[in-house]
Amino acid sequence: MKKLLLILTLISTFTMSAQNTGSLEGIITEGSGTPLSGATVYIKALDKGTVTDYDGKFILENLAAGTYEVSISYVGYAITTQSVSIMAGKTTQLNTSLKESDSILNEVVITANKQPQKITDVPATVNVITSKDIEEFPSFNIGELAARQKGVDFVRSGVLGTGINIRGFNSAFNSKNLQVTDDRLSTLIATGLPMGSFSTVTKDDIARVEILLGPNGTLYGPNAHNGLVSTITKNPRQSEGTTVALGFGNQSVLTTRLRHAEAINEKFAYKFHFEKSQGKEFNYVDSVYVGTESYTELDLNRHFDSKKYGASIYYKPTKGSEITGYYGHSLNNNIGITSAGRNQIKDWSIDVAQLKYVSQHFFANTYYTWSRTDDTYAINQRTQNYVSFIENGFSEEEARERSFTEQWFPLGPGVGVPLQRGALFKDASERFNAEAQYNNNWNNLHVTLGAQYQLDMADSKGTYLLDEGGIDLDQTGIYTQLEYKLADSGWGFLFGGRLDNHELYGSNFIPKVAVTKKLNNGTFRVTYGKGIAVPSILNLKGNLFGGLVLGNGEGFTLTDGTKIAKLDVETINSYEIGYKGQLSDKLFIDVNAYYNQSDNFISPLRNIADAANGNFVTHVGDKPIGEVSEGNTGAFILTYSNFGHVDTYGADIGLNYYFTDHFRTSINYSYFDRDLDTNDLDNDGNLDGQVLENELPINTPNHKFSVGLHYNKGKFYGAIFGRYVEKYDFFSGINVAAETQDQDGDGINEIVENAQVGRTWNYGQLGGFTIDANAGYNISDQLSMGLSITNLLNAEIREFVASPAIETLVSLELKYQFSLKQKTATVN
């Protein structure tokens, strides 16, 4: 009897509760009517939310009767907020369609805090390259779109080569901003360099690129200390259909692409992509010097080509979770620029396999990366090797063959010895990564907890690393981030902390603090962040050209007893204030100012020996240099070292003005400068006992300015973009691009423009003014054509060291897109 009464009581309580509560359900779609799977529906007043299922449907139950503001968001779309009334015992219907963000301030981004956020709520400066920007840029190289972003130092090194740097200290081997793709590192294993054209994803599969300025190491780990570039690809459920593209242009450029995506049912979806591109670099030869005699680069091949493909399968075990499996491959042939000359990249392949789980509160990710090449070589060193054999009477055939591994050192007439001066690069490196994360909301508090693990397994087969048996290095990071927002007052507070443990460098703590305040139609922010840069394996264990370039993982000793300390972790403390908001109905502003304090800055390659004065390198660590690098005399050693303390500061301003809904202008300006501590002898770049302003090259212009006009209406779209980069000096290893100057004040110009400087030719400072343009026309719903022109006026401008002047580049693209949603609509 008691059990029966208890059951009746429970039924009565449930019934009364159901009578006092109601439900909210509906369907969320995008502009064309395609259901949005994974869109977030959230009622802040009740702190209740959910995500849409495969069909874009959602339901929220047991909601107390009342009127609430419901926000619907999806990355890349404008946030929609609607007022709904919940009635007891009834179900309220809410069907709405999200639009791609037509306002910069409505943009939803995900990279900054690893969760969807309105861009004005993010306590960081974020640039977004949207899928619309990419679709309306008819060039195979979307890296050029980075030139249109504020605060970004963009360079073109040729037809294929584009690169970016953020907030100073660029080099020909720049790893000072971290690049990720779909939550996996997009960097080479041994060098830490961005993959660039080695990436396994294709243009048509990219949904967006988010560029964060400043340190982001708390969530992303070491080497996100100057900035972060995150590429996010399309979910097949929101991009069903087939895309076929054909592009061609001058410099013999030809590219073909294919992408297909399809949702099989509510559980499974898949996509695959393929790309084949080829072309020829500008007709430029980088002189190779043997003494004062110059030679053309041996067997220079200006042809470039790449092939890449990949496939993903998506499985939804529940409506609020998804498991993704991905495999991608790329194969590349091109010319690569380094601090010690150019490389002929030959058949270099990258493979990556990934498995990822995502739900409302949990995230788990693991992936494996392979890097392979057997025939890549350093053109500069191989040319020098070849010349040494030819000049000493060897045949052409033997000189070419031996030039990959040896240099002939004459001891007298008809007498000499071969020295190991390897120009060949082999790579069989691999990397394993794993991450797990939990996040949740409790009223106004959002908590993120996570852990990451990385194991680098470098193997150059003894060619460019001191790596007999391979080099394995691991690092582990645990992190947390707390965000507290007061909706009524508009204040927001963020604290993040990461403890990172490196096999060689032990533990480092990386904090981040931010305060935000909503003001009218924008948000003001004050942030502090720390970043660290752990030396790459190449920095530590490099062994190039028979030891002429050595890594500094052990430290060095010179003849006079001078000690060069081994590399330490580079740190940066960054302080930033900023505002992003709407000044009027048509004018949007994003402005920031920052101050960075850098310690132990990892230098570009520099010579630490002074053979002219009898000061040789005698030891590497506690071993004689001859034991570490066979036959090395220590007369000339290029290596990396830590500078002392340097402060950098700057500001970025971005303005967007909408003349109409279809026509807008964008204006960007950036300023950057530094304050070098000349009393810190760790900043003595040439080790002469005095610190000069030019010994720590920032390789960044003080001023950058750009103006863009953008038009999109009906079937036509177009943009024209002017970019001014103030002339500036660039020093990186043997590479020099600088104006004539007396570096040490002795009355003699050590640097002379348009003349040989050391082992390279100095063409003068980088920078100048260029105009780019693109336009397109949608012939039908399926067929479009577009034209892109880089350096429209063919201005004489050189943007990077060891690179040609950039001539006009023209790209024409035809694209056919067939949507499965269109087919379904037609059938129905």
Secondary structure (DSSP) of 59-109: EEEEEESEEEEEEEE-TTB--EEEEEEE-TT-EEE--EEE-B--SGGG-EE
Q: What is the mean pLDDT of residues 426-449?
A: 92
Q: How far apart are CA 405 and CA 374, in angstroms?
A: 13
> Tens of pLDDT along 485-544?
887 788 999 999 999 999 999 999 999 999 999 888 888 999 999 988 899 998 999 888
Q: Where in the chain is the domain with CATH 2.60.40.1120?
A: 15-100
Residue 260 in this model has a pLDDT that exceeds 50: yes
Say if CB 418 and CB 407 are below 8 A apart: yes
* pLDDT digits 0-9 by tens, 163-192: 888 888 888 877 778 899 999 999 999 888
- pLDDT, one tens digit per residue, over 206-220 is 988 988 888 887 888
CA-based nearest residue to 700, from 737, 749, 754, 751: 737
Average pLDDT for 599-613: 83
pLDDT of residue 171: 83
- Chain centroid to CA 784: how far? 29
Q: What's the pLDDT at 38?
A: 67
Identify any residues that bridge with 787 across adjacent strands, giving them in sequence order: 775, 812
Q: Please check the confidence at residue 824 and state whether its pLDDT lies above 50.
A: no
CA dist 194 and 188 (Å) reads 6
- In the chain, residues under CATH classification 2.40.170.20 are 117-534+569-605+640-827
DSSP annotation of 537 reads H
Mean pLDDT of 49-53: 74
The pTM assigned to this predicted structure is 0.86
Query: Which is more confidently placed, 413 or 716?
Result: 716
Q: Would you state the pLDDT for residue 774? A: 95
pLDDT of 121 higher than 70 = no
Query: What are the DSSP calls for 320-342, one per residue?
Result: TEEEEEEEEEEEEEEEEEETTEE
d(CA 574, CA 21): 49
Which alpha helices (DSSP H) does 464-596 contain, by range? 537-541
Are the C-beta atoms of residues 45 and 487 closer than 8 Å to each other?
no
Confidence at 129, pLDDT banded by 50, 70, 90: confident
Q: Rounded to whole angstroms, how far apart are CA atoms 83 and 66?
A: 10
Mean pLDDT confidence for 301-306: 96
The answer to whether 373 touches 427, Cβ cutoff 8 Å, is yes
Average pLDDT value for residue range 14-30: 73
pLDDT of residue 77: 72
CATH number at 15-100: 2.60.40.1120
93 falls in which pLDDT band (50, 70, 90)?
confident
Sequence-separated (6 or more) residues with CB below 8 Å from residue 469: none
Query: What 8-state DSSP symbol labels residue 142?
Result: G
Does residue 573 register a pLDDT over 90?
yes
Q: Tell whether the model's pLDDT for residue 792 goes beyond 70.
A: yes
Written as six digits, the tokens of 435 are 């991450």
pLDDT higher than 60, residue 13: no
State percent of the chain over pLDDT 70: 92
pLDDT computed for residue 595 by the predictor: 96
660 vs 119: which has the higher pLDDT = 660
pLDDT at site 217:
76
Question: Average pLDDT for residues 235-254, to the nearest whole number?
Answer: 93
Q: Which residues lie closer than 8 Å to 31 by C-beta, 6 or more apart?
A: 97, 98, 99, 100
pLDDT of residue 498: 93
- Look at residue 477 in the predicted model and tell me its pLDDT: 94
Residue type, 549: V
Average pLDDT over residues 2-30: 64
pLDDT of 199 higher than 90: yes
Contacts of 274 (CB under 8 A, 6+ apart): 202, 257, 258, 259, 308, 309
pLDDT confidence band for 825 (50 / 70 / 90): very low
Amino acid letter for position 149:
Q
Other CB atoms within a 10 A radius of the CB of residue 758 amount to 14
The predicted structure's pLDDT at residue 347: 97
Residue 258: exposure state from Cβ atoms within 10 A (0-12, 13-18, ≥19): middle
Is the model more confident about 681 or about 242?
242
What topology is assigned to 117-534+569-605+640-827 in CATH? Maltoporin; Chain A (2.40.170)
Whether 471 has a pLDDT exceeding 60, the answer reads yes
Please answer whether residues 219 and 113 qualify as being in contact, where contact means their C-beta atoms are separated by less than 8 angstroms: yes
- Strand pairing class (96-98; 21-30): parallel
Residues 342, 335: Cα–Cα separation, whole Å: 7
